Amino acid sequence: MADLALDTSTSYLSLAVVRDDITLYEKNVYSLKLHSVLLPDEIEKALKITREKIERIFVAIGPGSFTGLRVGLSLVKGIALAGDTPVIGVPTFDGLAYNIPPEGKLLIIMRYRLSKTYYARYTANSNRWICEKVDVAEITELPQLVTDERIAIVKEHNYREIADMFQNPVFIVPRASLLVIPGREKEPEVLENLVPLYIEPPEAERIKNL
């Protein structure tokens, strides 16, 4: 028995099969808007290669791409209903943080619109990353947000423009296997309540309300 982990919250499609803290299979594909096309086949391929039966599913719930999140969560709900498989929703930044060993303070930045970013602050405690805040900021506001944290920038949508604002930032991408680390401590979701974590309303809804 193993765990399936999926992250569709960015332009990267990431999936992994993990058993007892050992990553049996992991794949990242820079797929832009093709998550819905690639994801079913990629899951089937991963399960064929590992020959594992899935015990739990860990899925990134955002913030991130509105379309990507809906694709991932819809597919996960279908798999869970078909196999009566527990699902654990994990905030996207909680998984991203574990690209870096927990020590000191960390600020993660991810671009998501032309002039805006999501960001999250973390503090290390007992070899874990503890999330202090997740919010939205204009790109021009980013230098004022930094105090003494390490800076990690998600390689998403012209990230180099943001990187040029800081000295020696670390570049990271989603790795689905990392969702298992913070997800272990969470209880399975009621599927009806499993929804994307939106910090701002989707673009279509925002435009409609103008």
Per residue in 81-135, pLDDT (tens digit) is 999 999 999 999 999 999 999 999 999 999 988 889 999 999 999 999 999 999 9
Query: What amino acid is encoded at 84 in this protein?
Result: D
Contact 42, 4 (CB under 8 A): no
Helices (H) and strands (E) in the chain, counts: 7, 10
The CATH number linked to 140 is 3.30.420.200
Tell me, yes or no, whether 26 and 88 share the same domain: yes
Q: Provide, rounded to the nearest whole percent, the portion of the chain with pLDDT above 70.
A: 95
Q: What are the structure tokens assigned to 69, written together?
A: 């999140």
Q: At residue 154, does pLDDT exceed 90?
A: yes
Answer whether 138's CB lies under 8 Å from 90's CB. Answer: no
Confidence of residue 207 (pLDDT cuts 50, 70, 90): very low
Same domain, 15 and 86: yes
Per the structure, the count of domains in the chain is 2
pLDDT for 57 beyond 80: yes
Selection from 170, 68, 58 nearest residue 112 by Cα? 68
Domain ranges, residue 167: 100-172
pLDDT at residue 77, rounded to an integer:
96
- Enter the pTM of the model: 0.92
Banded model confidence at residue 209, pLDDT cuts 50, 70, 90: very low
Q: Note the helical H segments in 126-195.
A: 142-145, 159-163, 180-183
Average confidence (pLDDT) over 25-45: 91
- Do 109 and 92 meet the contact criterion of CB atoms below 8 Å apart? no
